[in-house]
Structure formats: structure tokens, C-alpha cells
Structure 1
Amino acid sequence: MNKSAFVLITLAALASTSSLALAQSSDGVLTVATIGEPPTLDVMQTPTDIVLTIDQHIFETLYTYDAQWKSVPLLAAGMPTLSEDGLTYRIALREGVTFHDGSAFDAKDVTASLKRWMAINSKGKQVAAIVESLTEDGDHAVVIKLKSRYAPLLATLSQASVIMPSEKLADTLTEFVGTGPYALKERKPDQYTRLVRFEGYKSPEGEVSNYAGKREAIAREIRFVPVPDANTRVEGLISGQFDYADSLPVSAYERVEQSGNAKPVIFKDAGWASMNMNMKEGLLVKKELRQAVQAALNPNDMMLAAFSEDRFFSVDASIFPKGSFWHTEAGVARYGEGDPEAAEKLLQQAGYDGTPLRLMTSRQYEFHYKIGEVAKAYLEAAGFKVDLQVVDWATLTTRRADPKEWDIFITHSNFPGDPTTINTITDTYPGWYVSDQKAKAVAAYMDATTDEAKKAAWDGIQTVIYDDAPLYKVGNFNAVSGLANGVSGYEPTYWPHFWNVSPKK
């Protein structure tokens, strides 16, 4: 097997030393090479990394994440006022904010947008189940009344719950109008998505911290260009065609560094790779077979194949990395060198009949594909028959919504500020992880009121995740991206953003 590997993820490149205070609007254009064409710009429908990366420039949420991944105000005027029982949130809204179409942002837009989000988004649906009412309190505040405590509410409201004009909302969006620093000007599928500076933008206050703080649309225009081939992104960056290239191959690190035209950067623990299992239909509805998958796999070999050198990855059974408040070894089981005998025993207990295991992956994220190749070999050694299905990323995100189409898909995620916002914990996320013991463990977390109680509850959640086996954590990865020389003000974030960034002169 070819063990040269590629790191393809959507975390960006180079922190700038220039001061935002010195930045001025520019007539320049930033050309951003992405890993592919977004399947949609409706982030409520499809909150994947590529959609989030583009959409965050167009749309804004009530809250966003600071450098500690804590939720802080964005369109909200401040942190919510809570009732004594923790069930009622009153959220004041910023005044004087306008949408790209010139209409004023108000409470009606918030309630309408959040109701759509709760109807169609996987995390929104989870929130909807515990919302008693969502109402306007005048033009500049909304009130959310809950049926029960919900500790991750603000963290959940910080992603994909974008606010749009109530008049523009529809089951299928035809206009993409937000309050963000950039407005959608033109989209030519498979060519580019073109955003232009919104001259009427009103920035939040505060120091820049991850996605929080002051936002300034310095570049006149941002063009997101889909470039599925990783080496083409590298060549375009080095030649000056691209100002930023997402998700570069590890093998190109030195070449970019020595080019004199661009700089690469490694970021530690950018995210984690996982194999998500279908608990709703098909082969893996049996827990013993999901546990057999766990027992069969060797995470170090998968990560080595995917990332080439251990400076680009780490293997850690804890879902959160070392140094994180949420790091724990609680409940870890069937994680290590791969145990084909233990896996074979679980296969026999489950009465495995040789039905092929459909393992779905994509080459647009080359490390997903490499993980899939090694996983296939270990699973077959344990006695599974494996059907490795390699599709483009847009197809994978569409197909994984149908439980009849797959058994395992490979993906990656960042490390969220609240552990219960991990996709797999959501009942409706593809994989459909539903179990009584998970529900009890999550309920304990929701009732926690202190950090210590939350940590203890998270230990319980990780324990049942290992027992139920809705996913297999492969490992933590670092990331390589590239930024052209002369571009200043860029600050690395998981979903790379380009407000506060000055183009080359």
C-alpha cells in the first residue's frame, strides 16, 4: 500500500502579524481554492464544512465561538437572561443591523429563521424537541422557553442556525440573503462562488478571537473556487493563481515552504477522523457487529497510511484530545492494535452471514480514502466481507442521508466547545444513534449546572459511546493549508474565514 498521505481538511493556514487596526478597505480580490463544489448554500439543510466555510461570510448566527470554543454574542446584543429554573432564555438583539437587501434585522427574522432551522436541521430538530415556545419580545428581543434544561443551547445556536429575512424564507431557498460582511453576488456551479463586500455591514464589537469580535470586509471580493484535486491546489498556490489553498497534501509541505511564493502551517489537533456506523438499517443494527468493527481495527496503521508521519497525527482513544477539559479515558474499550480473534468471536455471536459491509468514503478528502483502504484490510482479516465504495464528497453527503445505502461512512470533525454538539450524539445525524443508555447519559449532562458535573456526565456519555459503538474514532489529525505571500491579517480557524484579511497589493 502506498503510505504517502494527504491531509485534506478545511482548517486554514497562517496567522498574520499585521494589526487589524491598521487595515483599510481594499479593491483587491481573494481567490480561495476549496476542496470541491458545495452541494448547496442552504447551510440549514447541509451543514458540511465546505458549506459552512462559504456561508459564514454571508450569514450570521445569534452566537458564535471564541478561541475557547465558548459561545459569545454575534447578532445577539449580549448573553441571554435566564430564569431561575433555567428554562427561559431572553435574548436581546443588536439594533441597527441590516440585511444585504437593505431590510432591517429584527425579532421576527430571528423567530422565523429559528423555526425553519428547528424543522430541517439535525441539531435544530434536537432543540425543537425541548422548546415549549419561541416568541418575539418587541422588535429587538426573543424569548425561548424550554420544556427541560438544555445545557448546550448556546453552543447549538452558534452553528448553522443562520438568520435570514423572514420574507426570504422558503422550503427551498432561492435567495441567499444574510447580515454578514459579504453578500452573494454570483454562483457558477463547478466554477466559483463570488462574494462581494457588503458596504452596509455592521460589525460586532470586541477583540478578534476565533470567530468572535470585530469583522471587517477588507477585500472587495472573495472567490471560492472548487478545486477537487489536491495537487492542483498546490500548483495554483505556488503559481500565484490562489491566495489561499485549503487542505494541502502533507507531501507538498516542503515544496510550498521552499517555493518563495507561499507558506504552509501545521496545526495540531485540528480535528478527528471517525468511521460512523448505520444503526438504523442494514448489517450494523446488531451491536455485536459494530463492536466487531471496533475490535478489528488498528487506528495507528490507519492514521499512518492517511498522514504519512506521526508529526501530522496522534492516536488517542479519548474523543477529545489531551489538554482539552473534556479529555478522558472513561469507558474506552476495543481500541488498540486490532484484535482479529476478538472480532471474529463477536461475528460468530452475531451470526454474521457474509453479507458485504458497505464502507463509503471519498477521495476529495484523500485521508478519508486512505483510512478506508486500511480499514478494509483489517476488517477482511477479521472475517468481514467489505464493499469499499469511493464516491465524491457531495454524493457521500447525499447518500448518507438514506439508511438503505450504506453501513459505514468515513468523515472528520472539529472539537466543539460543548461535547453534546458532536454530530453523532444527535439522534437524527446519519447513523441514527438512538439507545436508552445514551439517552440517560445525555439527560444527566443536560441537568448538570457546574463544570465538574458536566465533566462527570461527559465521562458517562463517552462510556456508552464505546459500548453502543455508533462510531469508531480513528485518531486526531493536524492540518496543512497554504497562504500566499503578501496576504495579511489571516487568522487560522477550523472553517477558514476571510474577513479582516488584506489581499496582496
Structure 2
Amino acid sequence: MITRRTLLGSAAALPMLAMPSVLRAQGAPGGTLRYVPSSNLTILDPVFTPAAVSITHGYCVFDTLYGVDSDLKPQPQMAAGHTVSDDGLTWEITLRDGLTFHDGEPVRAQDCAASLDRWSQRDAFGQALRAATEAFEAKDDKTVRIRLTRPFGPLLEAIGKPHSSPAMIMPERLASQPIAEQVTEMVGSGPFRFLADEYVSGDRVVYEKFQDYVPRSGPASWTSGGKVVHFDRLIWQIIPDEATKVAAIQAGEVDWISTVLPDLVPIIAAAPGVELFQTDPFGLMTVMRFNHLQPPFNNPEIRRAVMMAVNQLPYLQSITASDDERQECRAMFPCGMPGVEELGSDMMSPPHTLDEARKMLADAGYDGERVVILNPTDIASIHPHGLVTADLLTQLGMNVDLQDTDWGTVVQRRVSKEPVENGGWSIAHTNWPAISIANPATNATTRGIGQGGWWGWFEDAETERLVEAWLSATDPAEQQRLFNEAHQRALEMVPVVPLGQVFRTGAIRSDLQGALHGSVDMFWNVHRT
């Protein structure tokens, strides 16, 4: 069995590497907050990709009409409030005063309407809203109007969701760009300005406090409330080596690291001046994603054979150190979330023999097609999964091509729809915050949108019919029945193979107070004592 320790060795063997003096953290009030993200930031557009590092970046630069509090309830953010017509078909959202973009232009309803229109073409929940929408438009400069063709109860939950991908507001001139193109000019109305001239991919990302940002009154709570910034500058230092991250925060050369390798947790726990924290109380669901456009995984019977052969425990053990950090979950939705039942227990529970899976592959017509697995070497929570999957598929008799690369390359390459002979791919692994895939509408991993959906491009009209029915249902019993039908359909079609849930640990210097930890790290409210 492949485990974290056989992959990386023991924590005691890892060196404490010295950091260059340029990373020395500044302790002066209003100075610099230094942060180490989980990976390099290669895609700046947080609507174009659901990658967590891009969403974290997005919350620095952009804001949303609605956010969520710590109970995941929608709360006005850029909005002052809203009204809904008696028939439920017209929503009008009024913007609060003082909203300004980083280029000095005021935020208008036209900007918000264009941003919602663009987001609704890309995001799974947004696409569900778009299917029920006649128009996103501006009634006037201060009022966004959404005209629906049918009632859509969770509208605020859709435009206020905190992850993958949030409905972030940008100027109309940027939001009007084709959805197939990334927005690269980072002009938002959020609490930080992105400093493009100091951005060096693979090295650092730099922001400064946006002096014209007007926070809401009241305390900050997740992505809602008063986003008060206490630092003049925020620097993300890209440090791929896990031991180097730990050495840096021990030495006070960085203030905050997003994730700590499980084997290094004891070192941090013993370090003076550093505290550990759980990054997301709802955890992450980790999945194996198939490319549904190309053989062999355009065949659902082959996908089912692979899912039947998977044992979640080796995957979980490869990236966690204890039972407290992992949870087996034989479901297409995160266990523990409202409405989620573990419907895949019979199908996915070991023991299943490899001989059974080999026979399923043969019966399905697998004919030796090359299986290209994209495997990031610089993401400790994903890299081992490529190794486990390659080992499993090799044992099944598949023609495996494991391709190691950095995460930035994986993010860029996994959007390719080409055959493997032309640089395409077959399998990639990733993690999703549980809150972002908790129901049939938001779960991009199971949505059957096809080429307009999440990379891998699973297409299934029946799945989409069930999603629409679930969104329209008002009776709780009927909602649960439709949820289970959508879940069962996903288990039959296997858009992904669920690999279980994990709970990450991060680290922060003890002299920082007020840090907020949700599905991403947030840099408002935190201050140095």
C-alpha cells in the first residue's frame, strides 16, 4: 500500500532550509502580511477556473453582490438589499453607496449585470440560474434587475456562493469579453489592488490595500460583513517545497501558510510563536476526474469498472497522517452535508477483486487505449493520488502514462479537449471544498452540462433534468427524493470517482489575530498584535 510516509519519508528527515532575506516579515503596524498559498497562481480570472488558489486571489481583488456568513446564509455585500415581485419572476438588487473600482470608476448596475451574465455561462450553479433567466440587466445605475422565466428560490445562494466559482463583479468592459477567454486585467472593487508590475508567476503575487474601499458596517463573517484591511501590502510568496514553508514560518520570514503537510504538523505544533488551524470546517472532497470526450473514458461501463476497483483508504492515507484528518465517503456528494445519503456504499465498498474489475473492463470493450494521468508534483494533497491511480490501473491491465508536471501546467492543460496523441489527457485528480459541491445544482463534478461545464465535459440530459426538477421543488420530501435520484444517476454514470474527504491544516504566526478561515483563506479582519 502506498502511504504518505513511503512517498515522502519521515518528518524527522526533512531539512529546515534557510530562506532568503527578501522574505523577512515586517512587524510594523500597517506593514506587510506575507502568505504562502498552496500552489502557484497561474490563472488570474476567478470566474474562468474553480481552482482554489484563483478563488483566493479573486476575493482579494473582487467583491460580490452577496456573500455568506459563517452559517453559509446569504448576506448583502455590495448590495444594500433587494426586492422580489409577487410572482417571484423579477428580482431588483440595489447597490450600496461608495462602491468604486480600482481604476477610479464607480461600480454601476451595468457592470454587475454583465458580470452575472458572464459568470452564469461558466459556473454550474450559474448555468442553472441562467436557464431560468430571461435577462440580467440594469434598471438604472444603482439597480440590478434579474428577470426570470420561472421562480428560482435559491437565487441569493447562487450569486452569493463562496466557492467554485463565486459571482465576482468586474467592470462591464472586462465582463463583456468572450467567456472562452481569460480576463487578465485585474480591476475589481475588492479590498486589495493587484499590482501587476510586481507579479512574477512561480515567485510572488503582490497586492496593496485599496484605500477607496468602503467596508460594510458590522463584523466580518466569511465572505460577508465588514472587510476591514489592516495591512498596507499583502505578498504571496510561492514556495513549492513543503519543508521550506515550515522553516520560513518558524523563522518568522512568512506569517501564514495555507496548508501544512501532515508529516510536518508535529514540527509546527512544537514551534514557538506558530499556531495550527483547520482551514475549512467542512473539509474537502477529493475526486478522480475522467475526460469524457476521449477514449477510453467516454464509455460509462469502463468508468464504472474503475470506480468498483477503487479503495478510498489508500488515497486518504497517502495525504493524511491520522483518522481525524480523513473520512471515507462512498457518495458523489460530501458526507455530512444536508440531504446527502451515502448511496454508493454497496457499489464502492471493498472488498471488490481486481479480477472482477478486469472482467468488467474486458466486457466493456477496453482495447489498450493509452490512459494519460496528469499529476502535479507541487501539490502535496493531490500528487500522491496520481501515483495510487497509476498503480491501480496498471494492475487492472490498462495502458498507463503518468505525466508529472507542476500544478500550473495541469490547470492549463486539463482544459484541452484534444486526444492524448495531441497533448490531451484521460484522468486528473483534484479537491473541492465540500460546501461548493453540496447539492445537485452546485456540484460541478456531477453536472451533465457537457462542453459548457467543468473540465472533463460530462454530458447527460437526464442529470440536467433532475437538477432542474430539484431546483423547482418546494416540498422538502420531494426535494429529498429528487436529490437522491440525481445522486443515483451520478453513481450510474460515474462522472468522477469520489476518493473520500480530508480536513486540511494550516499555520499562522501567533501574533496575528482575527484571521478568517473558510473554503479559502481571507485577508481582511486579520491584524498583528
- Matched AA of 2:428: F
Contact 1:230 1:247 in 2 (8 A): no
Q: CA deviation at 1:56?
A: 0.2
- Matched AA of 1:113: S
Task: Give the structure 1 partner of residue 367 of structure 2.
Answer: 353
Task: Give the structure 1 partner of residue 190 of structure 2.
Answer: 180
- Matched AA of 2:288: M
Task: Give the structure 2 partner of residue 326 of structure 1.
Answer: 339
Q: 1:28 aligns with which of 6, 27, 31?
A: 31
Q: Deviations over 1:470-490 (max 9, x none)?
A: 001100101111101211111
Task: Give the structure 2 partner of residue 16 of structure 1.
Answer: none
Question: Is 1:479 paired with 2:481?
Answer: no
- Matched AA of 1:284: F
Residues 191 and 382 of structure 1: is their aligned pair in 2 closer, same or farther, counting only changes over 3 Å? closer
Residues 295 and 151 of structure 1: is their aligned pair in 2 closer, same or farther, counting only changes over 3 Å? farther
Task: Give the structure 2 partner of residue 339 of structure 1.
Answer: 353
Contact 2:335 2:342 in 1 (8 A): no
Contact 1:265 1:482 in 2 (8 A): yes
- SS of corresponding position for 2:206: strand
Task: Give the structure 1 partner of residue 421 of structure 2.
Answer: none
Greater mean alpha carbon deviation, residues 238-247 or residues 262-271? 262-271
Task: Give the structure 1 partner of residue 444 of structure 2.
Answer: 423
Q: CA deviation at 1:92?
A: 1.9
How high is the TM-score relative to the length of structure 2? Answer: 0.86
Task: Give the structure 2 partner of residue 15 of structure 1.
Answer: none
What does 1:56-135 align with in structure 2 at a 5 Å threshold?
A: 56-78=59-81, 80-119=82-121, 124-125=126-127, 127-135=129-137
- Matched AA of 1:364: D
Task: Give the structure 2 partner of residue 164 of structure 1.
Answer: 170
Q: Deviations over 1:102-123 (max 9, x none)?
A: 2222212112222333455666
- Matched AA of 2:107: F
What does 1:450-469 align with in structure 2 at a 5 Å threshold?
A: 450-469=475-494
Greater mean alpha carbon deviation, residues 251-260 or residues 184-193? 184-193
C-alpha distance in 1, partners of 2:125/2:377? 27
Task: Give the structure 1 partner of residue 48 of structure 2.
Answer: 45
Question: Is 1:442 paired with 2:444?
Answer: no
Q: Deviations over 1:260-301 (max 9, x none)?
A: 031123455421100011222221111100001101111012
Q: CA deviation at 1:322?
A: 4.5
Residues 106 and 452 of structure 1: is their aligned pair in 2 closer, same or farther, counting only changes over 3 Å? farther
Task: Give the structure 2 partner of residue 372 of structure 1.
Answer: 386
Q: CA deviation at 1:47?
A: 3.2
- SS of corresponding position for 1:220: strand
Contact 2:111 2:175 in 1 (8 A): no
Residues 378 and 173 of structure 1: is their aligned pair in 2 closer, same or farther, counting only changes over 3 Å? closer
Contact 1:277 1:407 in 2 (8 A): yes
Contact 1:155 1:421 in 2 (8 A): no
Q: Deviations over 1:153-196 (max 9, x none)?
A: 43332343221223455636453221111112342333322111
Contact 1:35 1:229 in 2 (8 A): no
Q: Which has the higher contact order (CA 8 A, sep 6+)?
A: 1
Q: Deviations over 1:358-412 (max 9, x none)?
A: 2222122223121222222222323323222222111111111113311111000
C-alpha distance in 1, partners of 2:374/2:118? 30
Greater mean alpha carbon deviation, residues 477-486 or residues 201-210? 201-210
Question: Is 1:397 paired with 2:411?
Answer: yes
C-alpha distance in 1, partners of 2:481/2:73? 19
C-alpha distance in 1, partners of 2:245/2:391? 30
Greater mean alpha carbon deviation, residues 351-360 or residues 236-245? 351-360
Contact 2:276 2:505 in 1 (8 A): yes
Q: CA deviation at 1:140?
A: 1.4
Aligned-residue RMSD, C-alpha: 2.3
Task: Give the structure 2 partner of residue 154 of structure 1.
Answer: 156
Q: CA deviation at 1:43?
A: 1.5
- Matched AA of 1:358: V
Contact 1:416 1:422 in 2 (8 A): no
Q: CA deviation at 1:29?
A: 0.9
- Matched AA of 1:239: A
Residues 310 and 385 of structure 1: is their aligned pair in 2 closer, same or farther, counting only changes over 3 Å? farther
- SS of corresponding position for 2:205: strand
Contact 1:297 1:339 in 2 (8 A): no
- SS of corresponding position for 2:503: strand
Residues 453 and 82 of structure 1: is their aligned pair in 2 closer, same or farther, counting only changes over 3 Å? farther
Contact 2:75 2:224 in 1 (8 A): yes
- SS of corresponding position for 1:388: strand
Greater mean alpha carbon deviation, residues 261-270 or residues 132-141? 261-270
Task: Give the structure 1 partner of residue 431 of structure 2.
Answer: 412
Unaligned runs of 5+ in 1: 7-24
Q: Deviations over 1:224-266 (max 9, x none)?
A: 1111222221111111111001111111111011110311234
> Percent of pairs identical after alignment?
25
Residues 174 and 432 of structure 1: is their aligned pair in 2 closer, same or farther, counting only changes over 3 Å? closer
Q: CA deviation at 1:450?
A: 4.5
C-alpha distance in 2, partners of 1:39/1:381? 35
Q: CA deviation at 1:220?
A: 1.4
Task: Give the structure 1 partner of residue 217 of structure 2.
Answer: 205
What does 1:246-257 align with in structure 2 at a 5 Å threshold?
A: 246-257=258-269
- SS of corresponding position for 2:42: coil
Task: Give the structure 2 partner of residue 18 of structure 1.
Answer: none
Contact 2:3 2:319 in 1 (8 A): no
Q: CA deviation at 1:37?
A: 2.4
Contact 2:372 2:427 in 1 (8 A): yes
C-alpha distance in 2, partners of 1:324/1:376? 31
Greater mean alpha carbon deviation, residues 338-347 or residues 271-280? 338-347
Unaligned runs of 5+ in 2: 9-27, 419-423
Contact 2:133 2:148 in 1 (8 A): yes
Q: Deviations over 1:76-124 (max 9, x none)?
A: 222x433344333222221222222222222121122223334556665
What does 1:189-200 align with in structure 2 at a 5 Å threshold?
A: 189-200=201-212
What does 1:299-314 align with in structure 2 at a 5 Å threshold?
A: 299-314=312-327
Greater mean alpha carbon deviation, residues 281-290 or residues 330-339? 330-339
